Structure 1
């Protein structure tokens, strides 16, 4: 949308949003560095994290900044990926339908969900027009109920999308009704904060990982606010339960871990480890520590660094000339 468009979101001057774009290369360092360079060179956006996985052949970035800065960074990222990633030769353990597979927006401060929905539509339309890419809107930006779930949109992946797109139910929200020959399609959406959490089994039994995933995910009657799938880490010959947690307060990390561990143990298999992809809210770790150590009075105020940061911030607000205070902080 042009700047004066009355439908454009009117963010407050202090608005802050997060985006966690996933692109389909986790192996070629030169490609990953080029994409990161394009993002950092786009303007005043902060790259909080970059997590690449060779088995998934996928990289997840965590960006934050003012809405205009995040928008510019995402458009630069898409351009860099379309130029460098060819899905015809892409192989990896994670499902994908695009060189840039998914672009979620998350309101952090001074922005509503609806503001971000409008921004997502603006970004989606721009991606489609610049790169001739089909764009699907998902989650809170979805234009139809059957498009809310990213997994439903992505089903069939890049290889089967030409056939899928012939169904009017799967006509893109923006862009052509044909798959880009090398870059596929992209999903742009708006959601709450999500924790990407993977649990590795001490086994190469992919069927077991898939069975556990079916059991624990909400859509199968399992844990609320949990999405899961089983994948194989080929380089390590390890089966993995790959999990997205959409509300860690409803279903905490330790509950997910224990459920997977219990189900694996029923089949004589141990959990070999787990990992968080990207960033995690501080409170999610405090909650997990409280459970693991059976601490009766643990909360964020008990953490030294948190208390120190709060005290320094309060002191700086009272006296800008104090050490650590003032405009240079």
Structure 2
């Protein structure tokens, strides 16, 4: 069956200084004992998404090391970006890949939460399958509470106040997720937001889809930014074709699609024409092939 494998995909609130992200990656790789699988930087989101995998113990150490480096070199009070975030490390999910159960990843999430809250004085909210307060199962609920509640919400670990420069962090366990964005050839943010509403599962759209309409200042366009949380029922191609259809109704054209991170299996790539499939999903973007699970 092979050695146990856990995937981790932390999101850091830095997308404009590659050298700073490189220092975070270096800390992760040193603790992990091997290279990361992928990194994605976006200056408009002002966010980087780092993907790595390994044994549960190695991944635990790497997540703690990456978070420590981010707390040291990032400052949330100076951060401006279009993507929602609650801290310099916004979210740290653990995903079971092979020989590991979801319960194992929940335990891992709680271990990391205890260690980073104690070491850095950082408030930690647990989400997904690692949730401790039912209201915070969904990551968006944590962000809403941190942003809108008059007093800082009670975290699961750490002090009941944000860290002065690092904010807070959400740490959890979940199944595979695909982050997939589609750019529109317009700067009309209301159109992107309207299409995002159409796509959201919560508003009757595609199963397992969460979506936002965002402005990309560096490109002079807008984007429909999506998380696909049910990758067995909804593939990136389903989202892309839905955006194309909705954009046509609004009288705008669709620009380039964008994959953030990796997809779990080749099945995730189905539904695109051959050229798009080849450019969006080379073998290095397919987790099962990177880890030689097929």
| Equivalent position of 2:73 in the other structure | 84
| Equivalent position of 1:62 in the other structure | 51
| Equivalent position of 1:239 in the other structure | 222
Q: CA deviation at 1:237?
A: 1.5
Q: CA deviation at 1:283?
A: 2.2
Q: CA deviation at 1:288?
A: 2.2
Matched, 1:269 2:252: yes
| Equivalent position of 1:284 in the other structure | 267
Q: CA deviation at 1:313?
A: 11
SS at structure 1 position matched to 2:226: strand
1:1-329 to 2 correspondences below 5 Å: 14-155=3-144, 160=147, 163-165=150-152, 170-289=153-272, 292=273
Q: How many residues align?
A: 280
Q: CA deviation at 1:45?
A: 4.4
| Equivalent position of 1:5 in the other structure | none
Q: CA deviation at 1:46?
A: 3.9
User: Structure 1 stretch 277-286 or stretch 26-35: which is displaced more?
Assistant: 277-286
Q: CA deviation at 1:143?
A: 1.3
Partner Cα separation in structure 1 for residue 73 and residue 169 of structure 2: 15
Q: Indicate conservation of the 8 Å contact 1:105/1:189, yes or no.
A: yes
- Relative to structure 1, is the Cα distance of residues 313 and 209 closer, same or farther in structure 2, using a 3 angstrom cutoff? closer
| Equivalent position of 2:280 in the other structure | none
- Relative to structure 1, is the Cα distance of residues 102 and 33 closer, same or farther in structure 2, using a 3 angstrom cutoff? same
- Relative to structure 1, is the Cα distance of residues 155 and 162 closer, same or farther in structure 2, using a 3 angstrom cutoff? closer
Partner Cα separation in structure 1 for residue 208 and residue 32 of structure 2: 35
User: Structure 1 stretch 224-233 or stretch 140-149: which is displaced more?
Assistant: 140-149
TM-score, with normalisation over the residues of structure 2? 0.90
| Equivalent position of 1:317 in the other structure | none
Q: Indicate conservation of the 8 Å contact 1:162/1:179, yes or no.
A: no
Q: CA deviation at 1:259?
A: 0.9
Q: Structure 1, unaligned stretches of length 5 or more? A: 1-11, 294-302, 315-329
- Relative to structure 1, is the Cα distance of residues 179 and 62 closer, same or farther in structure 2, using a 3 angstrom cutoff? same
Q: Structure 2, unaligned stretches of length 5 or more? A: 275-282
Partner Cα separation in structure 2 for residue 82 and residue 283 of structure 1: 36
Partner Cα separation in structure 1 for residue 256 and residue 151 of structure 2: 37
Deviation track 1:217-250 (CA, whole Å, cap 9, x = no partner) reads 1111111111111111111111100000112220
Partner Cα separation in structure 1 for residue 178 and residue 247 of structure 2: 22
Partner Cα separation in structure 2 for residue 115 and residue 76 of structure 1: 20
Q: CA deviation at 1:155?
A: 2.0
SS at structure 2 position matched to 1:52: strand
SS at structure 1 position matched to 2:132: coil
Look at both structures and tell me which one has the larger radius of gyration over its CA atoms. Answer: 1
Partner Cα separation in structure 1 for residue 55 and residue 74 of structure 2: 28
- Relative to structure 1, is the Cα distance of residues 30 and 116 closer, same or farther in structure 2, using a 3 angstrom cutoff? same
Partner Cα separation in structure 1 for residue 141 and residue 220 of structure 2: 28
